[in-house]
Structure 1
């Protein structure tokens, strides 16, 4: 049974490192290709329309990923096999994404890229939702924060590592994609090996009819949904505030702080290093702190407040030092938040039998926040300038922290 580890007394290191490797297996290739190699390929094919095409791809990807995440997560919840309910989907997702990556090296038209990237989102989400559900399936409750921390460390490593690898292949996109394909195979298979097969063959799966069928593939409407939606909205505000800065950080240096492109690039590099170091450091300690003090809700709320302070700091002075302070505070906040957030999400699930589907819905806060944040920022910048978007992001975090503290099910 997949929940047999709930009675285990030893810390499940294999599960933790399996989650870490499995996450890096899809996250590093996805971020490296999505943020750097895909735009580079688009620039080669259609340099005059690249900005509009990248925006169109992001929108399409968000819509497809939203639908795929819910459906594939729900199907995973209802899978029985000798390899468990999650592993078959993750393995199938790996094979499917590799096929999409391969054909991405062959396409030579924008329409081909759009079709390929839409199919890639379907394939990718076969891995995303089931992987997170391992925390609900296998992590003993007393170690849930620490296991979630492995996931958080991976989240904080994924972005800079993916970008660093991809930046070496901007002029040779196909070779970069091949490197990421090898990376994905190795890390995903190691992750699956470490987690183990966890056979659930023989597990009873209730047949779905009428309203039950609709509920299995939709947002939860029954059970203890109050805390669930408080967590979802709190996460949405946190991510939105983060991407108010992230989406415009280059322009903050050039347009708000009036730096040259060369100085902006230099300061962006310093900021990225601060974000990485602070993020990984606090992601490492967040989970163990949550388990020790039994304070998931408090740590998530504090992280959200610290993020709010961080995003507001550059409003004090249009100088690079304020962005470095932001990087330190927000890096620490993201590290701590990512390390305990998934444990909080698992705890507020309204129905453990639909863990992957509901965690997929929680994950929508990430996707929507990455779009909602820049939209809010662009509206404020257009109306009253860069300076006021910074405290606005801080207020979003304050509201998010209050919502998290309103959760009753979690200490």
Structure 2
């Protein structure tokens, strides 16, 4: 075996194995690159998905209600199906990319440019006749953004030894949680009862952040050339290896997949309906709802940053991943049910504090858990793409379940929350079933 340029061992087939002995020091720049990359793609996406899309659709349809809910459910379903397919394909193709800039860099940079361009297009849609174009553009966003997401996550598997994965996952999680909750904070600043056109400006501002996500990550991680790597043939066995879901030694893999999907459904559904919980559920106008969304996002972001910065390293020392992830799910369940119990806008801030603590723990440790349940490290990008179905599946199911529950409980938003809390607890049980 020959020694690769990045410190890993080169073999006839692609391998992401970097041993603890080969990497005695924490690869901090990899953590910074993936953390900043995650922040700069996720913040714009969450700003659109959680705030600007619902606000724009409410403007187009003349107010919140079943029409908006159904359209959001349609967007979530079509977009997430697109994302599920493309993330696996792009992950597998990035494994096999040979260029002077490496395997991941070309995808990350091109993906950020294309996604930003489509976001600008979304911001220019203002009436019902353009809604079919809105759907097409949203599916394109789900495709192009996976050119950033799938390769970026695979960088951790490529270039981080097992003993450092909790620490690097913490750094990655800091960027992720700032994006997750900071995006809605930024998006909330573009909501206005008197100036609906301000929503469009929000799309353009967030597109700029998306545009720089790929180049920033690529410059910092400085991936080596992959031209000298062996190119695998895509015959039938190569195709199966590249694209088919794993079927051997997969118990922990699928428990992690569906466990985190349940947790993400609770978080995603809450995010999708947070504006309507405050407006239709608690009687606030759009401007005041936007203020509470920003306050809640700020509280969530602060607590999540605090706990994400330490939880991964602590899990390294404790030698466990599943218990911190399950505890995070319980905190998410508690935070989710509070607005239903007290029905006061201030409880949304308490959601931010409690669920933010859970999110910090979850995002920090969950990524390390994902890396350790992979059936075959040589297919890490593809299998991590499959695990990403926990996120895309949540995007499919959260709006659909929310719309169904909305109809079942008499067209009310607050009664959705106890059910979301139970879903988060189911996720905790599934994670605890993983055998470490």
TM-score, length of structure 2 as denominator length: 0.81
The structural deviation recorded for 1:382 is 4.2
Structure 1 segment 200-349 matched on structure 2, within 5 A: 200-222=226-248, 224-253=249-278, 258-261=282-285, 267-314=292-339, 316-320=341-345, 322-349=347-374
Cα–Cα, structure 1 residues 37 and 403, in superposed 2: closer, same or farther, change >3 Å?
A: closer
Cα–Cα, structure 1 residues 373 and 61, in superposed 2: closer, same or farther, change >3 Å?
A: closer
Decide which of 73, 79, 83 is 1:61's aligned counterpart.
Answer: 79
The answer (yes or no) to whether the contact 2:73–2:396 under 8 Å persists in 1 is no
Decide which of 75, 95, 98 is 1:77's aligned counterpart.
Answer: 95
Segments of 5+ residues of structure 1 without an aligned counterpart are none
For residue 17 of structure 1, what is the aligned residue in structure 2?
32
The structural deviation recorded for 1:307 is 1.9
Matches of 1:314 and 1:107 in 2, distance apart?
33
- State yes or no: 1:143 paired with 2:164: yes
Cα–Cα, structure 1 residues 353 and 101, in superposed 2: closer, same or farther, change >3 Å?
A: same
Residues paired across the two proteins, number: 407
Matches of 2:335 and 2:107 in 1, distance apart?
38
Matches of 2:381 and 2:298 in 1, distance apart?
33
The answer (yes or no) to whether the contact 1:82–1:197 under 8 Å persists in 2 is no
For residue 397 of structure 1, what is the aligned residue in structure 2?
424
Q: SS in structure 2 opposite 1:70?
A: helix
Matches of 1:317 and 1:180 in 2, distance apart?
34
Q: SS in structure 2 opposite 1:248?
A: helix
For residue 111 of structure 2, what is the aligned residue in structure 1?
93
The structural deviation recorded for 1:23 is 1.4
Segments of 5+ residues of structure 2 without an aligned counterpart are 9-17, 191-195
The answer (yes or no) to whether the contact 1:70–1:218 under 8 Å persists in 2 is no
As a proportion of its length, which structure holds more helix? 1
Decide which of 372, 381, 384 is 2:397's aligned counterpart.
Answer: 372
The structural deviation recorded for 1:154 is 1.6
Q: SS in structure 2 opposite 1:100?
A: helix
The structural deviation recorded for 1:362 is 1.1
The answer (yes or no) to whether the contact 2:69–2:399 under 8 Å persists in 1 is no
The structural deviation recorded for 1:112 is 3.3
Farther-moved stretch of structure 1 (154-163 vs 243-252): 243-252
TM-score, length of structure 1 as denominator length: 0.86
For residue 196 of structure 1, what is the aligned residue in structure 2?
222
Cα–Cα, structure 1 residues 263 and 85, in superposed 2: closer, same or farther, change >3 Å?
A: closer
Matches of 2:336 and 2:200 in 1, distance apart?
37
The structural deviation recorded for 1:206 is 3.2
The structural deviation recorded for 1:260 is 4.3
Matches of 1:116 and 1:274 in 2, distance apart?
32
The answer (yes or no) to whether the contact 2:325–2:365 under 8 Å persists in 1 is yes
Matches of 1:35 and 1:325 in 2, distance apart?
18
The structural deviation recorded for 1:138 is 0.9
Q: SS in structure 1 opposite 2:388?
A: helix
The structural deviation recorded for 1:237 is 1.0
Matches of 2:275 and 2:138 in 1, distance apart?
26
Cα–Cα, structure 1 residues 85 and 263, in superposed 2: closer, same or farther, change >3 Å?
A: closer
Cα–Cα, structure 1 residues 376 and 116, in superposed 2: closer, same or farther, change >3 Å?
A: closer
Q: SS in structure 1 opposite 2:197?
A: coil
